[in-house]
Amino acid sequence: MRAEPIAGRYERVEEIGSGGMGQVWRGYDSVLDREVAIKLIHPDAVHTPKQAEELTKRFRREARVTARIQHHGVPQVYDAVLDRSYDRLYLVMEFVRGTTLRAFIDPQQPLPVTWAAAIAAQICTVLSHAHAVPVVHRDLKPDNVLVTEDGAIKLLDFGIAAILRTDVTRLTSPSRMLGTDHYMPPEQIRNAQITPQSDLYALGCVLHEILAGQRVFAGSSDFELWRQHVTEPPPPLRTLRPDVPAAIEELVLELLAKAPEDRPAEAYDVYERLLPFLPLPGSAPPVTVPPFSTVPDPTLVYRRPNAPRRRPEPAPVVPAPRSDSAADPAAILRTGVRDAIKAAVSQSDELLDDERFAQAAEVLEQVIGPASAALGAESPRVLGLRSRRAAILVIGGDFRRALPEFDALAAAYARTAGPTSGDALECLRQAAHCRAELGQATTALRQFRQVLTHVRAASGDASPTALDLRFNIGMLLLSEGKAAEAADELQPLHDDLCVVYGPEHELTLEVADLLARLRLAAGE
In angstroms, how far apart are the furthest CA atoms of the chain? 93
pLDDT of residue 479: 84
87 and 113 together in one domain: no
Q: What is the pLDDT of residues 418-456, one digit of tens each?
A: 999 999 999 999 999 999 998 898 999 999 999 999 999
Find the mean pLDDT for residues 379-404: 93
Question: Does residue 85 fall inside a structural domain?
Answer: yes
Question: Does residue 524 fall inside a structural domain?
Answer: no
Q: What is the pLDDT of residues 353-391, one digit of tens each?
A: 888 999 999 999 999 999 998 888 999 999 999 999 999
pLDDT of residue 85: 65
263 and 349 together in one domain: no
35 and 108 together in one domain: no
CB proximity list for 245: less than 8 A, separation 6 or greater: 113, 277
pLDDT of residue 311: 67
Q: Quick one: which of 166, 154, 14 has its CA closest to 94?
A: 154
340 and 380 together in one domain: yes
Q: What is the pLDDT of residues 99-147, one digit of tens each?
A: 999 999 998 888 999 999 999 999 999 999 999 988 899 999 999 999 9
Is the torsion defined by CA of 217, 219, 225, 230 positive or negative? Answer: negative
The DSSP bridge partners found for residue 153 are: 147
Question: Does residue 498 fall inside a structural domain?
Answer: no
pLDDT of residue 2: 66
pLDDT(188) > 80: yes
Task: Give the whole-angstrom CA distance, residue 228 versus residue 28.
Answer: 44
pTM across the whole model: 0.70
161 pLDDT band, cuts 50/70/90, is low
Helices (H) and strands (E) counted in the chain, each on its own, are 20, 8
pLDDT of residue 45: 52
Q: What is the pLDDT of residues 59-80, one digit of tens each?
A: 777 778 778 888 999 998 898 8
Question: Does residue 117 fall inside a structural domain?
Answer: yes
Q: Is residue 467 a contact partner of residue 495, using CB atoms and an 8 Å limit?
A: no
103 and 170 together in one domain: yes
Domain stops at, among 241, 269, 303:
303
pLDDT of residue 68: 85
Q: What is the pLDDT of residues 454-474, one digit of tens each?
A: 999 998 989 999 999 999 999
Kindly calculate the radius of gyration of the chain based on its CA atoms and give it in whole angstroms.
Answer: 30
CATH code of the domain in which 182 resides: 1.10.510.10
Q: What is the pLDDT of residues 229-269, one digit of tens each?
A: 999 999 999 999 999 999 999 999 999 999 999 999 999 99
- Is 139 designated active site? yes
| Cα–Cα distances in angstroms (integers) from residue 246 to residues 122, 215, 252, 259, 264, in the given order | 21, 19, 10, 22, 17
Q: Is residue 435 a contact partner of residue 404, using CB atoms and an 8 Å limit?
A: no
Cβ neighbours around 463 below 10 Å, total: 14
Q: Quick one: which of 273, 270, 372, 362 has its CA closest to 319?
A: 372
CB proximity list for 117: less than 8 A, separation 6 or greater: 248, 274, 277, 278
167 pLDDT band, cuts 50/70/90, is very low
Question: Does residue 105 fall inside a structural domain?
Answer: yes
Find the mean pLDDT for residues 209-228: 93
171 and 243 together in one domain: yes
Task: Give the whole-angstrom CA distance, residue 55 versus residue 41.
Answer: 12
Q: What is the pLDDT of residues 303-350, one digit of tens each?
A: 999 888 776 665 554 454 454 444 555 565 556 888 889 899 999 999
| Helix, strand, coil percentages for the chain (3-state, nearest 5) | 55, 10, 35
Question: Does residue 324 fall inside a structural domain?
Answer: no
Question: Does residue 516 fall inside a structural domain?
Answer: no
Give the containing element (helix H, strand E) for 27.
strand 22-29
pLDDT(96) > 50: yes
141 and 241 together in one domain: yes
| Residue of 29, 87, 106, 139 with catalytic role | 139
pLDDT of residue 320: 47
149 and 16 together in one domain: no
CB proximity list for 300: less than 8 A, separation 6 or greater: 150, 151, 285, 307
Task: Give the whole-angstrom CA distance, residue 55 versus residue 84.
Answer: 12
Domain stops at, among 94, 109, 143:
94
CATH code of the domain in which 80 resides: 3.30.200.20
pLDDT(86) > 60: yes
Question: Does residue 502 fall inside a structural domain?
Answer: no
pLDDT(295) > 90: no
Domain stops at, among 266, 288, 303:
303
Q: Is residue 277 a contact partner of residue 298, using CB atoms and an 8 Å limit?
A: no
CATH code of the domain in which 345 resides: 1.25.40.10
DSSP character at residue 333:
I
CA dihedral 41, 14, 31, 90 (to 10 degrees): 0
Q: What is the crossing angle of helices 422-437 and 441-459, to 10°?
A: 150
387 and 431 together in one domain: yes
**In this predicted model, which residue has the larger pLDDT, 451 or 295?**
451
Give the containing element (helix H, strand E) for 81.
strand 77-82
Three-state secondary-structure class, residue 7? coil
Task: Give the whole-angstrom CA distance, residue 200 versus residue 270.
Answer: 9
pLDDT of residue 175: 38
Which is it for strands 153-155 and 145-147: parallel, antiparallel or unpaired?
A: antiparallel
104 and 85 together in one domain: no
User: Could you list the residue range(s) of the whole structural domain that residue 335 is in?
Assistant: 329-486
How confident is the prediction for the chain on average, in pLDDT?
86
The count of structural domains within the chain is 3
Task: Give the whole-angstrom CA distance, residue 366 versus residue 356.
Answer: 16
399 and 283 together in one domain: no
216 pLDDT band, cuts 50/70/90, is very high
pLDDT above 90: percentage of residues in the chain: 61
Give the containing element (helix H, strand E) for 15.
strand 10-19
106 and 248 together in one domain: yes
DSSP character at residue 518:
H
Q: Which long-range contacts (CB under 8 A, 24 or more apart) does 264-267 make?
A: 264/197, 264/200, 266/128, 266/131, 266/196, 267/124, 267/125, 267/127, 267/128, 267/131, 267/196, 267/199, 267/200, 267/203
**In this predicted model, which residue has the larger pLDDT, 162 or 360?**
360
